[in-house]
Amino acid sequence: MEVIPAIDIRGGHCVNLIQGEYDSETVFGDDPPEMARQWESLGAPRLHVVDLDGAREGAPRNLHAVRDICTAISIPVQLGGGIRDIGMAESALAAGVERVIVGTAALDPEKAGRFVSEFGDAVVAGIDARDGFVAVRGWLDTTEMRALDLARQLVAVGFRWIVFTDIQSDGMLKGTNIPALKELVESVAASVIASGGITTIADLRAARDAGAAGAIVGRALYTGALDLREAIQALC
């Protein structure tokens, strides 16, 4: 299972939010490419980058920083946040990312299918759940669509990768929602990457045992609660 550091960008800074609340922002750095180099030097197999401004505004807003990150490192980068149409995905891929994550736009089955037809495995479904229901627009709105139902719908149109985030766990440093993760993994024929709340090596092992193909770690790395090199070695 891959241990994947997250870099969340807002206004060009490396930040972290608690449960996606924009007024809970903590700034951890002003140089995203340097942060990317740090995680690469510690053995990160890839980076998970989120354009928080893009998620909120509906279009990527920090592609310059994303391009600088991709230039600065040799490991692959996956990007989410505001990618709502084919043109936005093309711009992100042109900036150097390996995979783009589609969240809000994936609620439209026809549009979701077009993403898969155009980009294949370079597009990933981002499913963010609050109490089991899908949240969109940077988690500002919660829909009436159940996360499991959306996952099944997206796999049916061809998605083979899902990033699953439990919003209540995100940024809380209390572990992730393993039962929800396990249920999702067992319900769909896709590779699932866990996100939200992962804090300890025990959390990572629990995600691996639940069947996750990867785990995204954010706040725990920035606060020093988790050492990336030790975590990667422990999962080997």
User: pTM score > 0.85 for this model?
Assistant: yes
- Render the burial of 23-55: b for 16+ CB within 10 Å, e for the rest: eebeebeeebbebbebbbebebebbbbbbbbbb
Domain ranges of the chain: 2-235
Among residues 68, 128, 166, 203, the one annotated as catalytic is 128
Full pLDDT tens readout for the chain, 236 residues: 999 999 999 999 999 876 656 767 788 889 999 999 999 999 999 999 999 999 889 889 999 999 999 999 999 999 999 999 999 999 999 999 999 999 888 889 899 999 999 999 999 999 999 888 998 776 678 888 999 999 999 999 999 999 999 887 655 566 789 999 999 999 999 999 999 899 999 999 999 999 999 999 999 999 999 999 999 999 97
Question: Distance of CA 170 to CAs 4, 18, 32, 123, 152, Å?
Answer: 15, 6, 21, 23, 23
Query: Per DSSP, what are the bridge partners of residue 136?
Result: 141
Active site residue 121: no
What's the rounded Cα separation, in Å, for the pair 57 and 53?
A: 6
Active site residue 209: no
Q: Hey, which CATH number is domain 2-235, 1.10.10.60, 3.40.190.10, 3.40.50.300, 3.20.20.70? A: 3.20.20.70
HEC assignment per residue over 64-109 = HHHHHHHHHCCCCEEEECCCCCHHHHHHHHHCCCCEEEECHHHHCH
